[in-house]
Structure 1
């Protein structure tokens, strides 16, 4: 009786898959990792052999043998926020043809939790990392620097001179919202925000600066809540602000779900939008174009950020020089009925 598997574990090995499918172990590995240079007929033979043997790849052994895994780590602050889902889908679309596995870490907007994820994932020797923004602990920064793992930062611009980033200016987006409301003749302008992560506060800074330049900034017209952004919270914060300051005639929301909740609450209270209060959201989530009234919002390039960041990381892995350190993908103000 022929014994299948390695001497230590009894599991089928890559060498056995290669022998059964009639290819070299390198070709078998590439076929199972989805690398596009392997002919489709060979890929099918290798997959059939792996299925027949019950073979499951061991990424830890591969990393040990090569001193590097075929994994890319992506760290995001939320899996419930639709904008990050679109970004992740785009990253997968770029990495999959290269046979790279995407490992996702969700740090829930907590830099200490992100630090633990970085520590744990670096132990797997990833070949690259995609990080959200630049705000992280000193320990995280030291670990990333010491590891030598290529990193690309998403959603923000700037950072250290040596950093590679793909995103857009959060401050300029906030400025654009303020300028639009001012151009619409609004003078008592408020800002409603939740979560209060660094990118939200950058938008707030841009909004405040534009109002200050116009002599219209009033800090009393801000509602800043640390809890996660939601439609329900948007309605609550809108009611609270209008109760305290009924003279408010224009509002910028840090995220569309807050603005959506405010529009629904305004309908309940009989407040006309934009007649009494004009509203501008952020991110242009799909439902925003179908509200009554349709929500004016700043459209962000979520999928493009994921795609371009993944391509920038591949360029770093391939050692290609001359790539721009910073890629500003911009944003678009989608003007609709709410303003």
Structure 2
């Protein structure tokens, strides 16, 4: 760096790598290596450069580092909701897995919309991410085309794919729905209702598992299903309980696709004087923190949300590094939490 260039940098107030090198008494290339590849230099040299960085308040230029290494150190993550506790725990796992490698995470909220997902993926690809973590397995034809063309490594989260070539971390939503329904049937319930909201792909697969178990038992009945496209909330659970009992008054158990719906259904039962579980058994899905502490405590499906995020990010990181993972699909399973409500 010439004196004129150094003068310009000082005049602009921007601390450059060359200024750090000058303060540490080393070449610019050496300072760069000490910052980006500290294992390649001696501890004494690293300490000198670190001291200069701290003294000057130097912040590395991520874009310049990306050009030099051919990696952006950016991971794009798309989830359908930022207010849903399920996905906040997934995001926590992702962040913990990527922190050690100094990745910047771009988080996008698709709001359960294909159009929003298309827009976000198009926007994030402009940042040349090293990889993407996407929620779910089903995407619009446009998104599939964009991802195929971009050739960016992608790991899907929350469900299990039948495609052995797809990188996936999660559990079988279908099997979880089947297991909960089978549990209720084995407890002696015959008229088991299913309440579903949002109608995203995960809810639909849980419903498919429910139907499979009911058909096998010879108990399937369309009147036992209440499905709405509205977002899942406690208030909606209370409302849909009333709708279920209106169209199937002999219902003796209800499987709610989410815990918040189940919470609302139980509260509404208490208002109506319906004893849970002796008159009506109620169960949920996801094992949210409040579910174990309400009265009666909620029978539900426990899902490994933090581990899904952590393992998905770890798998993506290995793919980015060119490593050959032992498996492309990681099934973390689920746990049926049998409690007081069913």
Pair 1:326 & 2:329 matched: yes
Pair 1:24 & 2:34 matched: no
d(CA) in 1 for partners of 2:326 and 2:304? Answer: 20
Question: Higher mean Cα deviation, 151-160 or 278-287?
Answer: 151-160
Deviation at 1:234, TM superposition (A): 0.7
Deviation at 1:60, TM superposition (A): 3.4
**1:156-212 CA distances to partner (integer Å, 9 max, x unpaired)?**
111544211011000000001110110111111111111110011000001011101
SS at match of 2:285: strand
Matches within 5 A, 1:189-228: 189-228=192-231
Q: Identify the residue that residue 85 of structure 1 maps to in structure 2.
A: 88
d(CA) in 1 for partners of 2:41 and 2:261? Answer: 48
Q: 1:59 to 1:292 in 2, by over 3 A?
A: same
Q: 1:246 to 1:65 in 2, by over 3 A?
A: same
Q: 1:166 to 1:141 in 2, by over 3 A?
A: same
d(CA) in 2 for partners of 1:128 and 1:7? Answer: 36
TM-score scaled by structure 1?
Answer: 0.90
Q: Identify the residue that residue 245 of structure 2 maps to in structure 1.
A: 242
Structure of greater Rg: 2
d(CA) in 2 for partners of 1:320 and 1:304? Answer: 21
Deviation at 1:101, TM superposition (A): 1.3
Contact 1:83 1:283 in 2 (8 A): yes
SS at match of 1:282: coil
Q: What is the aligned counterpart of 1:268 among 268, 271, 274?
A: 271
Pair 1:120 & 2:123 matched: yes
Q: Identify the residue that residue 102 of structure 2 maps to in structure 1.
A: 99
**1:31-89 CA distances to partner (integer Å, 9 max, x unpaired)?**
7xxxx999999888766644654544443343344443111111111111111111111
Q: 1:189 to 1:57 in 2, by over 3 A?
A: same
Q: 1:37 to 1:93 in 2, by over 3 A?
A: farther
Q: Identify the residue that residue 154 of structure 1 maps to in structure 2.
A: 157
Contact 1:5 1:13 in 2 (8 A): no
Deviation at 1:135, TM superposition (A): 1.4
**1:128-181 CA distances to partner (integer Å, 9 max, x unpaired)?**
111111211112111111112111111111154421101100000000111011
Q: Identify the residue that residue 233 of structure 2 maps to in structure 1.
A: 230
Q: 1:176 to 1:27 in 2, by over 3 A?
A: same
Q: Identify the residue that residue 172 of structure 1 maps to in structure 2.
A: 175
Contact 1:192 1:251 in 2 (8 A): yes
Contact 2:223 2:247 in 1 (8 A): no
**1:288-335 CA distances to partner (integer Å, 9 max, x unpaired)?**
000110000000010111111111111112222252011111100000
Contact 2:153 2:320 in 1 (8 A): yes
Pair 1:60 & 2:67 matched: no
Q: Identify the residue that residue 281 of structure 2 maps to in structure 1.
A: 278
d(CA) in 1 for partners of 2:282 and 2:41? Answer: 53
Contact 2:31 2:49 in 1 (8 A): no
Contact 2:81 2:112 in 1 (8 A): yes
Q: 1:169 to 1:115 in 2, by over 3 A?
A: same
d(CA) in 2 for partners of 1:41 and 1:194? Answer: 60
TM-score scaled by structure 2?
Answer: 0.90
| Number of residue pairs matched by the alignment | 335
**CA-based RMSD:** 2.6
